[in-house]
Amino acid sequence: MSSLKQLKTQFLEYIEIEKGRALKTVENYDHYLTRFLEFIKNDNPEKIDDATVREFRLWLNRQSTGNNRATGNTLSKKTQNYYLIAVRAFLKYLARQDVKTMSPERIELAKVGERSLDLITPTELSRLLDSPLGSDLKNLRDKAILELLFSTGLRVSELCSLTADIDLHSDELSIRGKGGKVRVVFLSDEAKKAVKKYLATRKDMSDALFIQISTRKAIEDPTKSIGFVKPLTRRSVERIVKQHATKAGISKKVTPHVMRHMFATDLLSNGADLRSVQAMLGHANINTTQIYTHVTDKHLRDIHKKYHNKS
């Protein structure tokens, strides 16, 4: 019989190769499962039972966050659930491999509060999109990034995977998202215009759509070829969005995912149906998309205006 450590390695290879999970997801699962196996101090899958998992949950619930134990802050229920989801997925894999162990259905996730949305106002969104000024390469790139994020609702990892041979004659774009699933997203006229102007200024040889601009010369003299340059990372895109949010005078935390939220709420508030928005966001489950409905229900707002405090 294989040990739990060997089975964990096989499981991680399975979700990367067979399930098409992103490397970051594989790394996260590795982290969660490693801590689980270190806690149970056991290498026999048959010895994983309800008591083992209950003790692990108690241990998680008492873990301090950060380096300062005096703060009294413990792992959030959401973070604890990440560990439980990883353990449950691992047990499901073991069951499929006919390895005798605890049933994954016996693991219930901790109850968490309703997810809140980080949103900015339409006025703030307009200021953000207008923040990149000038015709230099950096501002043209940043403008294209912001317009594309709002037009398509792309995840930041999906944006970073785009290549410079993007077809700007079409209004749509095929994207390979989570789990290798392909979906279609749509380009607004503003997004196409911004990307076109940015690409027309590019003189490098890189395949990536969005690239790092590392030298002042490349910004001041975009006509000069700068050869091969590195593509933007997700962290770089997050910094770019944050910088322009600050420049636009927005005090709230603004990330590429906030742009994705704004894309969804904009569609729903203008009458789009939930199933269509689900498809455009690439959500596997419509319950994930439903987090947007409570901020876009015009009907309830109209009822309130019509009937509240009329006496």
Is residue 48's pLDDT more than 90?
Answer: yes
Question: Which of 7, 64, 62, 13 is closest to 37 using CA atoms?
Answer: 7
CATH number of the domain encompassing residue 173: 1.10.443.10
> Is residue 143 domain-shared with residue 290, that is, in the same domain?
yes
**Chain centre distance of CA 59:** 28
Please indicate, yes or no, whether residues 82 and 228 belong to a single structural domain of this protein: no
Query: Domains in the chain: how many in total?
Result: 2
Predicted TM-score (pTM) of this structure: 0.70
pLDDT of residue 8: 95
The residue from 58, 76, 106 where one domain ends is 106
Identify whether residues 16 and 131 lie together within a single domain: no
**Is the domain of 135 the same as that of 213?**
yes
**Residues 69, 149 share a domain:** no
Angle at 250 between CA 161 and CA 112, to 5 degrees: 70
CATH number of 17's domain? 1.10.150.130
Q: How far apart are CA 25 and CA 62, in angstroms?
A: 25
Q: What is the per-residue pLDDT for 218?
A: 47
**Residue 218 domain-assigned?**
yes
Last residue of a domain, one of 106, 140, 160: 106
Segment of 17-21, 75-79, 254-258, 289-293 carrying the highest mean pLDDT: 254-258
Which sequence positions are flagged as catalytic?
155, 178, 257, 260, 283, 292
Residue 78 within any structural domain of the chain? yes
pLDDT at 20: 82
Does one domain contain both 65 and 148? Answer: no
Asked if residue 311 is part of any domain, the answer here is no
C-alpha dist (Å) from residue 148 to 4, 63, 123, 170: 44, 40, 18, 14
User: Is the domain of 275 the same as that of 126?
Assistant: yes
Same domain, 54 and 187: no
**Which residues lie closer than 8 Å to 234 by C-beta, 6 or more apart?**
156, 157, 160, 256
pLDDT digits (tens, 9 = 90+) for 108-124: 988 876 666 778 999 99
Asked if 265 contacts 291 with a C-beta cutoff of 8 angstroms, the reply is no
Q: Stretch 90-111: mean pLDDT, rounded?
A: 92
Residue 185 lies in a domain: yes
Question: Is 23 inside a domain boundary?
Answer: yes
Q: What pLDDT score does 224 carry?
A: 55
Whether residue 101 sits in one domain with residue 142: no
**140, 234: one domain:** yes
- Round to whole Å and give the CA distance between 69 and 53: 24
Which of 37, 72, 106 is at the close of a domain? 106
> Is 88 in the same domain as 138?
no
Query: What pLDDT is attached to residue 287?
Result: 82
Asked if 50 and 91 count as a contact pair (C-beta separation under 8 A), the reply is: no
Q: Distance between CA 159 and CA 175 in Å, rounded?
A: 9
Quick one: 137 and 284 in the same domain? yes
Structural domain containing residue 89: 4-106
Q: Decide if 216 is inside a domain.
A: yes
Closest CA relative to residue 244, chosen from 154, 113, 146, 159: 146
Grouping H, G, I as helix, E, B as strand and the rest as coil, residue 308 is coil
Kindly give the residue spans of alpha helices, DSSP state H, lying in 18-130.
23-40, 50-61, 77-96, 122-129
Render pLDDT for 253-304 as a digit per residue (tens, 0 to 9): 999 999 999 999 999 888 888 899 999 999 988 888 888 877 666 666 777 7
Is residue 116 one of the residues assigned to a domain? no
